[in-house]
Structure 1
Amino acid sequence: MSQLARLIAILTLLKSKRVLTATELSDKYDVSIRTIYRDIQKLIEAGVPVITIEGRGYSLMDGYSVAPVQFTEKQANALITATHLVKQTQDSSFIEDFQDAMTKIKSVFRTSIQAKSELLSSKLYIFNKQDIKVPSNALSEIQLAITNFNYIEINYRKADDPNITFRKIEPCAIYSTENKWILIAWCHLRKDYRSFRIDRIQHFKILQEKFEDRKFTLKAYFQVDKYRHSEKNN
């Protein structure tokens, strides 16, 4: 469990008006007591009024509450289904970030909806028809680069090509097909838009340097790509 997920879980327990000891939390999350001390300090630094009850443990200050967010059962079910779909992406960074987000979201589910969502999760399975797994670990960082207009430097290997090429690119958009994430970017080596399978990126570096927005849209890109394909077939 990541630190963020553990912090949210601890806050959820404290919200239930329980008094928790460091030893109890250490055993529950299989971490050291020193780690729990640091977690409690992180919550306090984030503005959560955790108080220490001498000889008993930690609790929340009376009157503290998190702004309520209400989910219907259908909305909760949609999120649970999305969790199963996300696991098929094969990108470990994206899966971990989504699971951390879901831990936070589930902490505000009503008790009845929480129970039903867990039941649905145990009765839901997404079959992956692809026999070949294509794991990656860059999706979350690339998403940030797209929305913040950061250049990326990559070492890229094409299919059936042992050579690895260095590229400086402007990430524009991503899409998924057959459980593979595809990045569309302006390639400074080719002076044109190119698509890159994220699982074939051998190494990447997000640069602080910004690029100008080219007003790229997936709709226009696919229309041009379709036209090029049609011209080749004629």
Structure 2
Amino acid sequence: MRASRLVSLLLLLQTRRRLTAAQLADALEVSVRTVYRDIESLGEAGVPVYGEPGHDGGYQLLDGYRTQLTGLTEGEAESLFLTGLPTAAADLGLGATVTAAQLKLMAALPAELRDRAGRVAERFHLDAPSWYREADSTPHLATAAAAVWRQRLLRMRYLRWAHPREVSRVVAPHGLVLKAGRWYLVARHPGDQGEELRTYRVSRLLDAELVDEPFERQPGFALPDYWRGYLARFDERRHWAEAELRVSADGFARLDQLLEPAVVAAARRTAGEPGADGWRRITVPIESPAQAVPELLRLGADAEVLAPAELRDHMLATLAATAAHYVSAAQRS
């Protein structure tokens, strides 16, 4: 462990040129006292590292010195695809491994390319979770990831939306997907070649245990292709009904700010020509009248539901109840 830390310290000095003991301690997640001891050990090993006192001081390597200790370990090489996803790497327990891989990659680059890569890291950041939503709690993510990577069966208890709510299954996990800050496990039941792949939300795993039994992956399986198809099928299953609306010119222009992409695409595809007042008719997919009410209320006075009658009645009842609350409050004040 200490040898790995010494290598990381050396690579930090090589890629960042000058760092204080406090900065090194923060990067390596150790105490400043430990950094002092490590610097002394590097000096005793013949590494030309020296320190300069003062406000602008710090530790640095002698000009021209470069270490060749940049070989990636297996874990670091495997984690390279996560170097731009620090949150995902941390979720999978690979945060430290990804950091080490990044250091070695930076150290291996020529100075000019290293500076350019550093500027990219400083100026662009990918934040996967969506707005206004806490990230899922995924205590069994590491176990699921181990099953995916080692191609082993996974015994799990899962909390479903339908009844029976809690089910126990042994599945063959084919992949993990991070979507808007939520992890999903793609898996199938082993022993049945006709069984379809299913998608499980990892936060709904009540328990997970790695089974020391390998399985054969589905021939030709490609995770990106599966996920694209799954999203398309998901929208088709979810949106089983339609609603007809009238929307104003302003409402039509703001559809993509207020409604989800699948609904907006359908609205633009079915939109008729605007009338003399600028209003036009659109047809949008919905899950159910009850679910559609809060969604369509986002359009405010810029939309009117024409059909189905059940949805129109739901909208009228909701708006009437809301107006009654405000009228009552005004009368009390």
Alignment TM class, shorter chain as reference: 0.5 to 0.7
**Change in CA separation of 1:91 and 1:192 when aligned onto 2, cut-off 3 Å:** same
User: Which deviates the most, 206-215 or 153-162?
Assistant: 153-162
Contact kept? 2:157, 2:205, Cα under 8 Å = yes
Q: Distance in 1 between matches of 2:237 and 2:185?
A: 24
Deviation at 1:172, TM superposition (A): 1.3
1:91 alignment counterpart:
91
Q: Secondary structure at 1:93's aligned position in 2?
A: coil
Deviation at 1:171, TM superposition (A): 0.5
Q: Distance in 2 between matches of 1:103 and 1:126?
A: 19
Q: Distance in 2 between matches of 1:181 and 1:123?
A: 27
Contact kept? 1:134, 1:199, Cα under 8 Å = yes
2:136 alignment counterpart:
134
The normalised TM-score by structure 1 is 0.56
How many residues get paired? Answer: 204
Deviation at 1:152, TM superposition (A): 1.2
Q: Which runs of 5+ in 2 are unaligned?
A: 16-23, 48-65, 73-79, 242-333
Q: RMSD in angstroms over aligned alpha carbons?
A: 5.3
Deviation at 1:183, TM superposition (A): 1.2
**Change in CA separation of 1:225 and 1:107 when aligned onto 2, cut-off 3 Å:** closer
Q: Which of residues 24, 47, 58 in structure 1 aligns to 2:45?
A: 58
Q: Distance in 1 between matches of 2:115 and 2:139?
A: 32
Q: Distance in 2 between matches of 1:57 and 1:154?
A: 52
**Identity in percent:** 15
Deviation at 1:102, TM superposition (A): 2.0
1:207 alignment counterpart:
211
Q: Distance in 1 between matches of 2:2 and 2:207?
A: 26
1:6 alignment counterpart:
5
Letter of the aligned partner of 2:102 in structure 1? M
Q: Distance in 1 between matches of 2:27 and 2:86?
A: 27
1:54-88 deviation per Cα after TM superposition (whole angstroms, max 9, x unaligned): xx62236xx9834789xxxxxxxxx8xx7454436
1:47 alignment counterpart:
none
Q: Distance in 2 between matches of 1:228 and 1:111?
A: 48
Deviation at 1:150, TM superposition (A): 0.6
2:171 alignment counterpart:
169
The normalised TM-score by structure 2 is 0.43
Q: Secondary structure at 2:93's aligned position in 1?
A: helix
**Greater gyration radius:** 2
Q: Secondary structure at 1:107's aligned position in 2?
A: helix
**Change in CA separation of 1:7 and 1:159 when aligned onto 2, cut-off 3 Å:** farther
Q: Secondary structure at 1:106's aligned position in 2?
A: helix
**Change in CA separation of 1:139 and 1:122 when aligned onto 2, cut-off 3 Å:** same
Q: Which runs of 5+ in 1 are unaligned?
A: 17-24, 40-51, 70-78
Deviation at 1:192, TM superposition (A): 4.7
Q: Distance in 2 between matches of 1:15 and 1:67?
A: 11
Contact kept? 2:155, 2:170, Cα under 8 Å = yes
**Change in CA separation of 1:192 and 1:9 when aligned onto 2, cut-off 3 Å:** same
Would you say 1:180 and 2:167 are equivalent positions?
A: no
Would you say 1:158 and 2:160 are equivalent positions?
A: yes
**Change in CA separation of 1:64 and 1:9 when aligned onto 2, cut-off 3 Å:** closer
Q: Distance in 1 between matches of 2:199 and 2:208?
A: 15
**Change in CA separation of 1:167 and 1:117 when aligned onto 2, cut-off 3 Å:** same
Contact kept? 2:12, 2:103, Cα under 8 Å = no
Q: Distance in 1 between matches of 2:235 and 2:26?
A: 60
Contact kept? 1:8, 1:107, Cα under 8 Å = no
Q: Distance in 1 between matches of 2:162 and 2:36?
A: 49
Q: Distance in 2 between matches of 1:123 and 1:109?
A: 19
Q: Distance in 1 between matches of 2:230 and 2:116?
A: 46
Q: Distance in 1 between matches of 2:218 and 2:176?
A: 15
Q: Secondary structure at 2:118's aligned position in 1?
A: helix
Deviation at 1:163, TM superposition (A): 5.0
